């Protein structure tokens, strides 16, 4: 939990009760947030993008008020600033994630550390979390989709220009857009090639993957 007293320690029993329902990690949700709009709007955008890309349906990934079972602490590997994505990392290890609304108090002590630099670091950490969880064993699912979208956009641009050229509506020699479309096709093929190389590396290297299995035998 945060050290500036915006998180309410009185919420700890509620987090414990939610754990007792069978969850392995319970995250707080600052449903009514006592922060300025310059902090709340970027946070909502951050949480929306994280939900969209990870598929985890919680509202507040970055809430400092969380409760964990011991198995989660021992299993999830956190480094750098990946603490923002502990629910994501735990979910992909097979743990059950829950969330409850918690009280959030106005800031009385200290100063906020939120800024533009932290926003970009958070985005880069999201990319890291996705690579090391969702796409570690299937890189083609990421690079292949990017490649198909890019190549299709280039093909569509060039197809329209070629039709106009056949109809004598335009010339291709003086259209930079035609070259741009061709470059998009090349970039799309490169994305797909990177994905295929990643798949071959993933399939040929020795597997060291570990699985987190809850111990029910006490």
How far is 100 from 58, CA to CA, in rounded Å?
9
User: Percent of the chain, pLDDT > 70?
Assistant: 89
Q: Which residues contact 180 (CB under 8 A, 6 or more apart)?
A: 154, 157
- Among 112, 114, 14, 23, residue whose Cα is nearest residue 65: 14
- With 0.85 as the threshold, say if the pTM is over it: no
pLDDT reported for residue 148: 94
27-to-60, 64, 124, 175 alpha-carbon distances in Å: 8, 8, 22, 54
Domain ranges of the chain: 9-132, 139-204
Query: Does the pLDDT value for residue 99 go beyond 90?
Result: yes
pLDDT reported for residue 218: 45
Q: Give tens-digit pLDDT for 118-134.
A: 667 777 788 888 777 77
pLDDT band per the 50, 70, 90 thresholds, residue 213: low
Query: Does the pLDDT value for residue 48 go beyond 60?
Result: yes
Ranking 106-110, 160-164, 208-212 by mean pLDDT, the lowest is 208-212
Burial class (CB in 10 A: 0-12, 13-18, 19+), 110: exposed
Query: Does the pLDDT value for residue 205 go beyond 70?
Result: no
Higher pLDDT, 54 or 69: 69
Q: How far is CA 186 from the centre of its chain?
A: 27
How far is 83 from 39, CA to CA, in rounded Å?
18
* Average model confidence (pLDDT) across the chain: 83
- Among 110, 196, 98, 100, residue whose Cα is nearest residue 146: 196
Query: Does the pLDDT value for residue 217 go beyond 50?
Result: no
- Among 61, 69, 64, residue whose Cα is nearest residue 22: 69
Q: Which residues contact 107 (CB under 8 A, 6 or more apart)?
A: 4, 6, 34, 35
Q: How far is CA 115 from the centre of its chain?
A: 19
Query: Does the pLDDT value for residue 216 go beyond 70?
Result: no
What is the chain's Cα-based Rg? 23
Query: Does the pLDDT value for residue 47 go beyond 70?
Result: yes
User: Percent of the chain, pLDDT > 90?
Assistant: 28
């Amino acid at each position: 939990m945060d050290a500036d007293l915006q998180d309410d320690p009185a919420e700890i029993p509620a987090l414990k009760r939610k754990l007792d329902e069978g969850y392995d990690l319970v995250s707080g949700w600052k449903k009514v947030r006592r922060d300025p709009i310059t902090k709340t709007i970027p946070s909502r955008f951050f949480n929306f993008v994280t939900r969209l890309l990870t598929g985890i349906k919680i509202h507040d990934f970055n809430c400092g008020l969380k409760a964990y079972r011991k198995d989660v602490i021992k299993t999830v590997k956190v480094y750098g600033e990946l603490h923002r994505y502990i629910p994501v990392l735990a979910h992909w290890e097979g743990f059950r994630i829950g969330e409850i609304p918690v009280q959030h108090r106005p800031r009385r002590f200290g100063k906020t550390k939120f800024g533009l630099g932290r926003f970009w670091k958070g985005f880069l950490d999201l990319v890291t979390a996705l690579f090391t969880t969702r796409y570690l064993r299937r890189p083609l699912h990421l690079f292949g989709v990017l490649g198909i979208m890019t190549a299709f956009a280039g093909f569509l641009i060039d197809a329209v220009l070629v039709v106009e050229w056949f109809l004598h509506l335009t010339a291709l020699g003086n259209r930079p857009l035609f070259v741009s479309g061709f470059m998009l096709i090349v970039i799309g093929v490169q994305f797909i090639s990177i994905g295929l190389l990643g798949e071959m590396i993933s399939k040929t290297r020795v597997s060291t993957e570990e699985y987190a299995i809850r111990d029910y035998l006490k």
